[in-house]
Amino acid sequence: MSLRPAAMRGALACAALAAATLAYSQNAAETFSATATVKTAGNATATVPVTIVVDRTMPEDEAAKLTGAYKSGGAEALRKALVGVPPTGSIKVGGGPVTPTRLTVERVTDKGRLLTIVTDKPILFMGAGVPGAKPREGYDFAIVDFEIDAAGAGSGTFAPAARVTVKNGAFTVEDYASELVKLTDIKKVK
């Protein structure tokens, strides 16, 4: 396990959603291709293609309602608040199933756009550097955080199974995996 508040601060800029989010609803879906890469302590490297579809980003008020639910009652309260909220897109890792995304927030940066995407279930448990590790209670989400430039190219991070907590009023992401999964070669394909 690793705590990655710096790498995933956008992932839970959910705390900053209400104040700092410059999210807006998009009219057209966007599709991004990326390569997820993990390097283990033993220097083994594994890569897999990832497809991320963003059907819509959330307006500030919608995101604030959901993050408020999480702050007040944790993962269960967030799940209840998500009832009836349409998915914001999807994530597909390799040949695995398509996982709907439930929160997608966009913020403008000096380099372009920062997209933070959250699923309401884990996508993959990676333990000891290998996929297929046993699920553990509390790792209820998957989080993608990436920055793209005006041409639609960029990089980011991916926590395929994550625990979200609130510490000192800010969201913190604890990744199930002990190794950081990097997203590279992100390209807007549609």
140-161 pLDDT per residue, tens: 889 999 999 999 999 999 999 8
Average of per-residue pLDDT across 27-50 = 87
Q: Is the pTM of this model over 0.75?
A: yes
57, 26 Cβ separation under 8 angstroms? yes
SS3 content of the chain, % helix, strand, coil (to 5): 15, 45, 40
- Nearest residue to 184 via CA among 146, 149, 155, 144: 155
- The whole-number pLDDT of residue 135 equals 60
At residue 43, does pLDDT exceed 60?
A: yes
137, two tokens? 């209670």
Quote the domain boundaries for residue 25.
Answer: 2-188
What percent of the chain has a predicted confidence (pLDDT) above 90?
Answer: 41
Cα–Cα distance, 21 to 15 (Å, whole number): 10
- The whole-number pLDDT of residue 108 equals 94
At residue 5, does pLDDT exceed 70?
A: no
- The whole-number pLDDT of residue 127 equals 60
Measured CA to CA in angstroms, residue 2 lies from 93, 94, 181 at distances of: 21, 23, 11
Domain count, the chain: 1
Give the pLDDT band of residue 124 (cuts 50, 70, 90): confident
At residue 105, does pLDDT exceed 80?
A: yes
At residue 13, does pLDDT exceed 50?
A: no
With 0-12 CB in 10 A as exposed, 13-18 as middle and 19+ as buried, what is 151? exposed
